[in-house]
Structure 1
Amino acid sequence: MTFSNSDKKILRILQADGRMPNVALAEQIGMSPSPCLRRLKQLEDDGVISRYAAILDREKLGLGIMAFVEVKVPQIAETSIVDLFKDAVRREPSIIGCHLTAGQFDFLLTVVAQDMTAYSALAQNVLLRLPGVQDMRSSFVLEAIKDTTMLPIA
């Protein structure tokens, strides 16, 4: 997909401020509001902009622990266990990210909890009991050096 310079500017600006009114967006890009809105709607219709969301501060919400959890699930010819695992992950609100990976472990989960006591309970009562889990390894975030949702727009 090819993007115009205006499209790229729209994407850069909206990644920083998704609630920016169209008039202000058009002004920053240097175009009139109607063409700017048409370009924006086209980016939405094409799925380049998939959704708008508020980014919350997890610590202010009492979620002081963030962990990356590597999970090993048996890779068998029949994918039913893996499918059950994926469905269970999608239903668990404390798991805020899940990625299928290549390497020693099969999945990388991003998990949040109030504190270590809550994480311990989550690990024992939920994570280790997810369908097919054979092994699990947790790494805890001590400090976020860079934590962004902004993608590089060339």
Structure 2
Amino acid sequence: MLKKFETLIALDKTDRKILDHLQKDGSLTNQQLADKVGLSPSPCLRRVRALEQNGVIVRTATILNHKKLGLALTAIILIGMDRHTPERFAAFEEAVSAYPEVLECYLITGHDADYMLKVVVPDMDHYHHFLLNQITRIAGVSGVHSSFVLRRVLDNTALPLGYLS
């Protein structure tokens, strides 16, 4: 869960270059990264460690191809809650955090929903089972609207760093 108030970290041009390269390829060795950003390995590693310690780099992940693993169905689920209390929201967030099918969960505004989930499952039968036996059984869920992804047009994990000064 995100902290209520995050401290902003000042980044210089070299930090932004490091982050840009790591977002594109997190498997770069320190030597490869240092070469790409124009540093020697020791200062490059110190900068990466500082970015990790300051919470700018949260973790390194490997992106998998859903379909090649048999996870062909991606659903976006809008969830309405019966009561808008901190306890109800905390219980919902704890429950969905335990489901490996849920890749993303957002508390949202601007819709007739309180949460938006991104879910990946093998097929419609699995989705139906997941929806009826897990999501709708969470205390406080009062409405569910599902949409299904037909095609990924853009699937990017990299943050745009070019506008940072």
TM-score range, shorter chain: over 0.9
Q: 2:131 and 2:61 mapped to 1: Cα distance? A: 28
Q: 1:40 and 1:81 mapped to 2: Cα distance? A: 39
In structure 2, the residue matched to 1:35 is: 43
Q: 2:158 and 2:44 mapped to 1: Cα distance? A: 21
Q: 2:73 and 2:80 mapped to 1: Cα distance? A: 22
Please say if 1:63 is aligned against 2:71. Answer: yes
> Match of 1:134, SS?
strand
Conserved? CA contact 1:88–1:131, under 8 Å = no
Q: 1:83 and 1:52 mapped to 2: Cα distance? A: 27
> Match of 2:150, SS?
coil
Structure 1 segments, 4+ long, off by >6 Å, are none
TM-score in terms of structure 2 length: 0.88
Q: 2:125 and 2:150 mapped to 1: Cα distance? A: 16
Query: CA deviation digits over 1:10-47, x for unaligned, max 9?
Result: 00000011110111111111111111111111111111
Q: CA deviation at 1:57?
A: 1.0
Please say if 1:98 is aligned against 2:105. Answer: yes
Which residues in structure 2 correspond to 1:19-34 (within 5 Å)? 19-34=27-42
> Match of 1:84, SS?
helix
In structure 1, the residue matched to 2:6 is: none
> Please, which moves more after superposition, 79-88 or 50-59?
79-88
Q: 2:142 and 2:13 mapped to 1: Cα distance? A: 49
Q: CA deviation at 1:85?
A: 1.1
Q: 1:118 and 1:102 mapped to 2: Cα distance? A: 28
In structure 1, the residue matched to 2:3 is: none
TM-score in terms of structure 1 length: 0.95
5+ unaligned residues in a row in structure 1: which ranges?
Answer: none
Query: CA deviation digits over 1:96-146, x for unaligned, max 9?
Result: 111000122000011111111111111111111122110000010000000
Q: 1:82 and 1:142 mapped to 2: Cα distance? A: 30
Q: 1:24 and 1:109 mapped to 2: Cα distance? A: 37
Percent sequence identity is 40
Query: CA deviation digits over 1:40-74, x for unaligned, max 9?
Result: 11111111001111111111111100000000012
Q: 2:79 and 2:19 mapped to 1: Cα distance? A: 34
Please say if 1:53 is aligned against 2:72. Answer: no
> Match of 1:60, SS?
helix
Q: 1:80 and 1:153 mapped to 2: Cα distance? A: 36
Q: 1:79 and 1:6 mapped to 2: Cα distance? A: 41
